[in-house]
Structure 1
Amino acid sequence: MKINSNYLKLENNYLFSTITKKVEDYKSKYPKKEIINLGIGDVTQPLPTAVINALHKAVSEMSSKHTFRGYGPEHGYNFLKTAIRTYYEKRGVFLEENEIFISEGANSDLGNILDIFSNDNTVLIPDPVYPVYMDTNIMAGRKIIFMCATEENNFLPMPDKNIKADIIFICSPNNPTGAVYNKDQLKEWVDYALSCNAVIIFDGAYEAYIQDRKLPRSIYEIEDAKKCAIEICSLSKNAGFTGTRCGYTIVPNELRFEGVHLNMLWLRRQTTKFNGVAYIIQRAAEAAFTEEGQAEISKFINYYMDNAKIICNTLQNMNIWFTGGENSPYIWLKCPKGMTSWEFFDFLLERANTVGSPGSGFGKNGEGFFRLTSFGDRKNVEIAMKKISSILI
């Protein structure tokens, strides 16, 4: 028996595990200190009432022989797929039911989707990057090329015609930088993918946070994107499903490589290696797409975006460069006073009792930058920003 030695090429510790360990060590030394966490992107607002009511109703159904549900379809119930189709139609994107696959969240599918591709493929990934893109490809032993995201290009790298890639990861709004591609920029990526005969894995987990209506919320708002792109979305950050777990992946029927429909391959993968999302969770997700559910979700998103404004205004007052915050719950700032990412982490933890995410944990180009999130409670955000202001001015 031999292990998969590619795992040995991974960093020893996942970024957020390292952050947790540092915070625990600090709290053990100073147990009376109250720590405000603006680092890990977990939501703090409870589930919408419409979602809770749907959960209760579905749980009650499971208590009756006449309405009990056992194994469901691995690709998801049609009632939820219909709700998602309607959601997209409002933005002029039309999907078929068999193109939508319900999952337990975007994070899983971002890694699992790679099962249907050869390990010989070359993968193009932005730097800095959400760690799952890189780690899952390292696990498979694929060749990785990094596209350079920097302050100079506002952390929105564009295609390089001198580079040939087979799989392209794009996240917009981006995690960790909060940067958002416009339609012309995404069109350029679609054209590049078509010219390379490549597939785009488009992470749209934060699409609901886009405030500017001119910016695309789906890759399929771009002409010909269905010929080259898979879109992966989540209900975690918009509907508060971080502890409930539900998302979806769209694999268009038009996606065809080497004479094979990728939709067929993904269906085969899911029916073999995935048992589907629980019925009660899918009913809850369906409720998130109702008129009532969407109204409540809008309030939650506005709450988090108001938090983002507080963070952004504080950084502007201190003349600290940043991106994100306007159409994203993430704020990506340049570490002040020439500090490294981890130096700034320790500085904030010790001097302001506030936790963020060091940019270097997201890639080489993240060094010297830092991620804050707007998912905290309003009071904590205000306290943290006052503390940060006092130690930096």
Structure 2
Amino acid sequence: FNVDFLQQLRSAIASTYYKGLGIEDGDIFVSDGAKCDISPASGLLELLKVLFGSNVTIAVQDPSYPAYVDSGVIMGQTGQFQKDVEKEQLTWLVQFAKNNGSIIVYDSAYSLYISDDSPQSIFEIPGAKEVALETSSFSKFAGFTGVRLGWTVIPKELLFSDGFPVAKDFNRIVCTCFNGASNIPQAGGMACLLLEGSKVVGFYKEDTKIIVDTFNTLGFKVYGGKNAPYVWVYFPGQSSWDVFAEILEKTHIVTTPGSGFGPGGEGFIRVSSFGHRENVLEACRRFKQLYK
């Protein structure tokens, strides 16, 4: 573990993701993955329980990433089932948090996939630094799943009702429960923040377009795939698990049942574009053969 190297990574994250948003190096907590920051064992949920008591109310959207329900995160892109989070929605949410003394936990893991004018960070919203913290990961844009590297941004403006900084308590909890990210993934993270790293996102976007075009051609209603590397395909009147099982048995392709993300995902499957191009093309060929 190298403190100097960690500082370089913090600076690179701040200048790459939060340029012009007033986020400083010291606001960024680098960890061995966003899950560690939001897990029940330590991090945000534990922080809420310790500081506010076990009766704290936590809102989670539906459908959502399953870990959110287990961990207590409020919102983000959640695998891109819902309509993209618009600036007006986030502005309303920030004002709601201010009016009700709430803290927003925002997941920006897919921010680099956003290609329209949707906010890439909640800190683009005026006043958000006073009521929100943001967690993110290298897994979704750099294929770091299993390598373990992520970060959480806690602005110095985010304070408890007594004026004490949230960042200080968060730092105490995560430092007690985790040793931080090792030098190897940190070096990988630095490399991913170079210009060449953005090409990976472009590659996955091309994969996504191939999948979307395939299901559109087959006559399915397709959602997502625009600002995240996932495609949601609707099978009206069918169980997500039944569709999953049929695809697995007849094509040997593994998809994700939409119901695993909550009741709102029932009737859908989620198809990932994370893969080698030849595998994506072969999977689409099998989909066409199954549903032609």
Alpha-carbon distance in structure 1 between the residues aligned to 2:278 and 2:288: 15
Aligned to 1:273: 177
Which residue matches 1:348? 247
Q: Which amino acid aligns with 1:347?
A: E
**Matched-pair contact (CA < 8 Å) for 1:176–1:362:** no
Once the two structures are overlaid, the 10-residue window that deviates more, 268-277 or 342-351, is 268-277
TM-superposed deviation, 1:179 = 4.2
Matched AA of 2:211: I
Q: Is 1:284 aligned to 2:188, yes or no?
A: yes
1:1-393 correspondence to structure 2 within 5 Å: 72=2, 77-90=6-19, 92-111=20-39, 112-118=43-49, 119-137=54-72, 169-172=74-77, 174-175=78-79, 177=81, 179-212=83-116, 214-259=117-162, 260-289=164-193, 293=194, 295-335=195-235, 338-393=237-292
Deviation at 1:89, TM superposition (A): 4.4
CA positional deviation for 1:258:
2.5
CA distance in 2, matches of 1:316, 1:371: 14
In structure 2, distance between residues paired with 1:335 and 1:123: 31
Match in the other structure for 1:153: none
CA distance in 2, matches of 1:329, 1:253: 32
Aligned equivalents of 2:184, 2:231: Cα separation in 1: 34
Aligned residue for 2:58, secondary structure, equals: strand
Q: CA–CA distance in 1 between the matches of 2:283 and 2:245?
A: 15
Distance in 2, matches of 1:83 and 1:132, equals 28
**Structure 1: 5+ residue stretches without partners:** 1-70, 138-167
Larger RCO (CA within 8 A; separation ≥ 6): 1
The offset of 1:85, in angstroms, is 1.6
Cα distance in 2 for partners of 1:346, 1:281 equals 36
In 2, are the aligned partners of 1:354 and 1:384 still within 8 Å (CA)? yes
Residues 80 and 224, structure 2, Cα contact 8 Å, conserved in 1: no
Q: Distance in 1 between matches of 2:276 and 2:177?
A: 38
The residue type paired with residue 170 of structure 1 is M
State whether residues 258 and 265 of structure 2, in contact with CA within 8 Å, keep that contact through their aligned partners in structure 1: yes
TM-score, normalisation: structure 2? 0.91
Amino acid at match of 1:229: A
Q: Quick one: distance in 1 between partners of 2:238 and 2:279?
A: 24
Q: Could you tell me which residue of structure 2 aligns to residue 147 of structure 1?
A: none
Q: What is the RMSD computed on CA atoms of the aligned residues? A: 1.9
Structure 1 stretch displaced more, 237-246 or 258-267? 237-246
Identity level (%): 37
CA distance in 2, matches of 1:391, 1:268: 53
8 Å Cα contact 2:33/2:148 also seen in 1: yes
Instruction: Write the letter of the residue equivalent to 1:126.
Output: Q
Q: Give the secondary structure class of the aligned counterpart of 2:216.
A: helix
SS in 1 for 2:93: helix
- Runs of 4 or more off by more than 6 Å in structure 1? none
Deviation of the 1:320 alpha carbon: 1.3
- The amino acid of 1:374's aligned partner reads S
- Post-superposition offset of 1:240: 2.5
- Partner secondary structure for residue 370 of structure 1: strand
How far off is 1:72 after superposition? 4.7
For residues 290-310 of structure 1, give each alpha carbon's deviation from its aligned partner in whole angstroms, at most 9, with x where no partner exists.
Answer: xxx2x2222211111111101
Residue 359 (structure 1) shift: 0.9
Return closer, same or farther for 1:113/1:72 CA change in 2, 3 Å cut-off. farther
- The structure with the largest alpha-carbon Rg is 1
**1-structure distance, mates of 2:179, 2:18:** 28
Q: Cα offset for 1:389?
A: 1.9
Q: Deviations over 1:190-238 (max 9, x none)?
A: 11222221111101111111122x1211110111110111100111121
Q: Which amino acid aligns with 2:203?
A: Y
**Count of aligned pairs:** 284
Contact 1:178 1:328 in 2 (8 A): no
The whole-number CA distance in structure 1 between the counterparts of 2:128 and 2:103 is 10
SS at match of 1:328: coil
Secondary structure of 1:124 counterpart: coil
